[in-house]
Amino acid sequence: MALDLAHVSSTSPDPVRAVAELAEQIGHRTAEALVFFCTHDYDLDILGRELGQVFPGTTIGCTSSGHFGPHGFQLTGIVGVAFFGGALRITPFLIAPLARHTEQVARIAEEVRALCDADPALNRFGLLLVDGLSMAEESLVGTLYQLVGNLPIIGGSAGDNLRFERTHVYAGDGTFLSDAALFALIETRQPVAAFKTQHFAPSDNELVITEADTGQRLIREMNGEPAALAYARAIGLPVEALTPSVFAHYPLVLTLGDGTYVRSIQKVNADLSMPCYCAIEEGLIVSIGQALDPVQTLSDALAAVRDSVPEPALILGCDCILRRLQFERQDISAAMSDLMAKSDVFGFFTYGEQFNGVHVNQTLTAVAIGG
């Protein structure tokens, strides 16, 4: 059975009109499931009510820091993909509050295993959407991946376009929630392949984290001095010049075994400490990331995934907001937008990404679904 889907979008700032435009683009068909991403600027009470009334099927989504689809990058409004015909099934599980996620995930894992046992022939993956300001992603995705079993997981942390005030996931009952996550089991007979890509490698320019608050993902000191001073010196800029665009261009890279993981800086605090988007620990040696060609690395990743899924009908992706900022800084946004649109990549810009059991930064995590 072929995957039957329709892309929908609206840039209307009015939530009632925006949802109406999505429905108009679908036409008279009834969507069995809808995955959407929207700007945080909407009145989410009204948007949630309209989504609940207009789309009676399974609906999942979250607020973003921009999103992408067939028309490339879209920094306002709402985008969605609707599914028809039974070729893809989404079973959502709400996790709230996040402080009690362990017991909830244990129950979810039992239900997921039962669904998998009921029809072992289906291909499956998990999609995790989580409050991007919760700082709960590491524990949440690690617990999910461990308890759910042999299931690929991709995910993204909801955003609010660098305001860092509140981020929300859609609970599926007409409401948006903070301090919450949505885990969706997605099942299909089409081939699926999860993958990730980043465009940074470790360099010889290394720093030692000499004081940190692990619980707050906060670097206080590197090389024995205030973190922002050591970082600014390492990249050759004054502290006053440190902006999100600079952090996007010069992330920290941690090497563990054969793997490299990006640890992105969020901002500089008044005391020159630096909160990060990902877990960080005292005593770690990190390096200033060495940038590779973003267009080429993405092209290579998209070509590689086609070895497993030769003709994807959809690539569902979670891409970091700091990657978007770097694309803008390097004036390659148009090229990246065009490449992703032509490759059927649909998704949103995040405050962090999840891949299997790990929370990462400045990475595109995605899954290709065959047609």
56-98, pLDDT tens digit by residue?
A: 999 999 999 999 999 999 999 999 999 999 999 999 999 999 9
Give the separation between CA 241 and CA 366, rounded to whole angstroms: 33
Would you call 10 helix, strand, or coil by DSSP? strand
Residue range 54-67, pLDDT digits in tens = 999 999 999 999 99
User: In this predicted structure, what is the pLDDT of residue 277?
Assistant: 86
Spatial CB neighbours of 228, under 8 Å, sequence gap ≥ 6: 239, 242, 268, 272, 273, 274
Average pLDDT, the chain: 95
The token duo for 319 is 């891409």
Judged by DSSP in three states, 292 sits in coil
In angstroms, the CA 349 to CA 46 distance is: 23
Given this model, what pLDDT does residue 215 score?
86
Q: Does the pLDDT at position 257 exceed 80?
A: no
350 CB-contact burial (10 Å; exposed 0-12 / middle 13-18 / buried 19+):
buried
Report the pLDDT value the prediction gives residue 130, as an integer from 0 to 100: 98
Site of tokens 């009015």: 14
Q: Which residues are registered as beta bridge partners of 129?
A: 156, 182
Are 212 and 222 within 8 A, CB to CB?
A: no
How many Cα atoms within 13 Å fall on the side-chain side of residue 251? 30
99-135: pLDDT as tens digits:
999 999 999 999 999 999 999 999 999 999 999 999 9
pLDDT of residue 268: 96
Closest by Cα among 218, 244, 268 to 329: 244
Give the model's pLDDT for residue 161.
Answer: 92
**Span 306-328, mean pLDDT?**
94
| Model pLDDT for residues 264-305, shown as the tens digit of each residue | 898 999 999 999 988 889 999 999 999 899 999 999 999 999
Q: What whole-number distance in Å separates Cα of residue 299 and Cα of residue 304? A: 9
